[in-house]
Structure 1
């Protein structure tokens, strides 16, 4: 083509943006809708620790104003949070005093004794705080949604005729047949459960796959989805550059098509949701313009290994109860887990796109665990984030073996440790700052626990080497030690007891084979957890050491999903899971 011919076809091209727009309009794209680009920018976040601390304590700015009329529930959440902190502080003080009395009898060096007390106090506080939140939250959660006048369910309404939801599946080298089979299952469920409203929903397969074989299989699978559900819209987009992994993938979708959709339902490659559940989320969003993110609690499924089955049991029984408790404690200041969640697109694009943290990876770069930060920024902008465990019909797959579990934990650890950079950002709610602290302390406590065990063992060995002990000295150690042991067992096992009590009270024990079988499974899982915890402590401590040496990791695909061209048939998933 000559220059004159090119100028006649595209005479208005004067820069790269014009060229990109022209190529998008001229190229025949059967599987992708025309882009409607929106310029996007990240919110201004001061990530300098010194500057953030100075403003936090000397020039503190108010948190984001709520969208619309200020609701009542934030005052209730703050009251419950303060009660939880007060209970935690009181019980921690009690255990610390018992430990101080015990360590003083052992004639331990002063420096060692101080380290012992400090480490024990830190670990006890976070353990007791989790216990108090679960206890207080479960008490309120037993009332159910009807007992919570601020639950989004009370304001749900039919969607507007022009409301549009993009159901997005970001993938990177996952099995295309398995992923698209899940998309077909969701589409068929929408057509079955909401036959008059399924036109509100469109599906996107957002590919970051580098291997051409995956891309070919993905396009072929999307064509199969169109044949299986001809009334639904299925779109495919392959990203030329997979910068920033899943976070960049979702940002690219928002940039291209975000303004065309009121909401986006973020899914994982292994996510499946019932159409009725999805539509209920949309009804809640439509009924309350303050809602920014609605997160469901996915049920773990599809695991056959012993480890996977135990994780599924624990997630279903304990995780569900803990989620109910946190809903009562946090309400509209909840976290979200990045998938199986409905997001209001416009405020997400305006307030939740994350900037690069200064420095090299793993300390800098894009936040790896971006979902917790996005929830905090959504609340910072005045919107509500709700975690809704009372909604069923939502599923995900979890690691099937210990190796996959540890790989996932290492990714989460690196992401949670990055949150220390955002702890004092202006405008964050107290609840979300507390979530940041709880998140990274969940991993630092493994290192603290290891040091604590070494100090405890050394102190006891020195005490035993001292020779004879008086009856008074033995009594001074025995009583506090027994009380601390009992308290620790109660605080660690209480969530399991609360879950069993709640399940029995709601007459749901039949879902676990009845009360005797449920009790037996709780015993087996608890015994495994006690044996597995030291292994986790060692590996997390090793991961922390690697992180301190600035050795980063990447967010790769699910190993269970990496079967390039031969997955489960769509009919098996669509008819076997959702019906």
Structure 2
């Protein structure tokens, strides 16, 4: 579920930022330096995205003529958007093409189920991305300021999130976003159109977290091959042997 994922990300964020100190250490291969940098940027990109949106919204509201004509965008801005879309969707398209070309779609529930899974995963990722952005930004702030971090291992089994738990953890964020949206609407209503793809998932964070955590929904989708992976339909040999040895030792 989303809350457990964010709980794990909180610890991973602190670890990745701590490991980034090793980038400048002598004797480390440049590939490893790149891995440390990528690990840190996987979380540092969240506050950068938040700052980008904040400054862009502020410029819009202030009436600054950043772009004279939005119908004739500069080539640099079009290129930035094109590269961003490529980074977001190209790995998904290449992965989908690789499975289809290698004829391995049977392990993913078949061709139709695989395509449905790709669409479902993309939509879900788009809806959860703004929530992760705010969560990761908070985690980076906590890590950089040295605030105390309490780590409790999240549950490994599939568990549904209650409405009370989701509201307790996500409603403050939703309330802040709602107040900001209301304030922006009083100044410049048109800005809400551009902020809607990010603001709406944040406003719907509580029901989104609850609905996507339903075990019954996950079972229903798995029975139809949606979001199915080969390991769920046929367990790897190493896991089968491990389970066999575990059952023998337990007996």
TM-score > 0.5, shorter chain as reference: yes
Could you tell me which residue of structure 2 aligns to residue 494 of structure 1?
90
3-state SS of 1:559 partner:
coil
Could you tell me which residue of structure 2 aligns to residue 40 of structure 1?
none
| Offset at residue 509 of structure 1 (A) | 0.5
Residues 19-58 of structure 1 mapped to structure 2, 5 A cutoff = none
Residues 74-473 of structure 1 mapped to structure 2, 5 A cutoff = 401-463=1-63, 473=69
Answering whether residue 136 of structure 2 is matched by residue 540 of structure 1, we say yes
3-state SS of 2:147 partner:
coil
Unaligned stretches of 5+ residues in structure 1: 1-400, 562-570
Tell me the matched-pair count.
Answer: 162
| Offset at residue 514 of structure 1 (A) | 1.3
**Cα separation, 2, equivalents of 1:459 and 1:449:** 15
Could you tell me which residue of structure 1 aligns to residue 223 of structure 2?
none
3-state SS of 2:113 partner:
helix
The structure in which a higher percent of residues are strand is 1
3-state SS of 1:560 partner:
coil
Could you tell me which residue of structure 1 aligns to residue 243 of structure 2?
574
| Offset at residue 486 of structure 1 (A) | 3.4
3-state SS of 1:502 partner:
helix
Unaligned stretches of 5+ residues in structure 2: 158-239
**Cα separation, 2, equivalents of 1:474 and 1:574:** 60
Q: Give me the TM-score of the superposition, normalised by structure 1.
A: 0.26
**Cα separation, 2, equivalents of 1:421 and 1:475:** 44
The one of 489, 503, 524 aligned to 2:120: 524
The structure in which a higher percent of residues are helix is 2
**Cα separation, 1, equivalents of 2:125 and 2:42:** 16
**Cα separation, 1, equivalents of 2:70 and 2:44:** 33
| Offset at residue 494 of structure 1 (A) | 0.4
RMSD: 2.9
| Offset at residue 534 of structure 1 (A) | 0.5
| Offset at residue 555 of structure 1 (A) | 4.8
**Cα separation, 2, equivalents of 1:474 and 1:405:** 38
Could you tell me which residue of structure 1 aligns to residue 103 of structure 2?
507
Contact 2:19 2:36 (8 Å CA) reproduced: yes
Cα distance change on mapping 1:481 and 1:548 into 2, 3 Å: closer
**Cα separation, 2, equivalents of 1:484 and 1:557:** 39
Cα distance change on mapping 1:520 and 1:425 into 2, 3 Å: same
**Cα separation, 2, equivalents of 1:515 and 1:540:** 35
Larger Rg: 1
**Cα separation, 2, equivalents of 1:403 and 1:502:** 32
Cα deviations across residues 417-458 of structure 1 (Å, max 9, x unaligned)?
A: 111322222211010011111111111110111000111122
Cα distance change on mapping 1:436 and 1:487 into 2, 3 Å: closer
Cα distance change on mapping 1:555 and 1:509 into 2, 3 Å: same
**Cα separation, 1, equivalents of 2:84 and 2:21:** 32
**Cα separation, 2, equivalents of 1:482 and 1:440:** 27
**Cα separation, 2, equivalents of 1:430 and 1:459:** 39
Cα deviations across residues 83-117 of structure 1 (Å, max 9, x unaligned)?
A: xxxxxxxxxxxxxxxxxxxxxxxxxxxxxxxxxxx
**Cα separation, 1, equivalents of 2:41 and 2:83:** 21
| Offset at residue 402 of structure 1 (A) | 1.3
**Cα separation, 2, equivalents of 1:415 and 1:405:** 15
